[in-house]
């Protein structure tokens, strides 16, 4: 099974972002990180992809909005994250 495309929108000095990226690294998966600290087109893109999203991180797996760090951690606790990550 191939690894899905994992994207994460982050901001500098965001503890939740660091926690989510660390979990993904522990899983051994690669991801694309979009830093929206200064706003710009990537922030607009995030809000278009996930209307109403005002916090980071926002995580997408194969285009599906997963949510934030707590949502990623919940998937891991429930034993569902590995399947989403293609592990």
The fraction of the chain above a pLDDT of 70, given in percent, is 99
- What pLDDT, in 10s, does the model give residues 52-63? 998 999 999 999
Q: What is the DSSP letter of 3?
A: P
Contacts of 45 (CB under 8 A, 6+ apart): 34
The residue range of the domain holding 69 is 26-84
Q: Provide the pLDDT for residue 1.
A: 60
Both tokens of 65, joined, read 């909005």
- Provide the 8-state DSSP code for 65: E
User: Would residue 76 count as lying in a domain?
Assistant: yes
What is the tally of structural domains in the chain? 1
7-50, pLDDT tens digit by residue? 999 999 999 999 999 999 999 999 999 999 999 999 999 999 99
pLDDT of residue 2: 80
Q: What is the CATH number of the domain that holds 38?
A: 3.40.30.10
Residue 64 lies in a domain: yes
Q: Running DSSP on this structure, what letter comes out for residue 4?
A: P
Task: Kindly report the pTM of this predicted structure.
Answer: 0.94
């Amino acid at each position: 099974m191939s690894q899905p495309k994992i994207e994460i929108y982050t901001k500098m000095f965001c503890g939740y972002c660091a926690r989510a990226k660390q979990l993904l690294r522990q899983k051994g998966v690669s991801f694309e990180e979009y830093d929206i600290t200064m706003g710009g087109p990537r922030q607009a893109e995030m809000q278009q992809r996930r209307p109403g999203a005002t916090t980071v991180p926002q995580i997408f797996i194969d285009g599906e909005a997963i949510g934030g760090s707590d949502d990623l951690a919940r998937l891991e606790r429930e034993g569902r994250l590995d399947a989403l990550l293609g592990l």
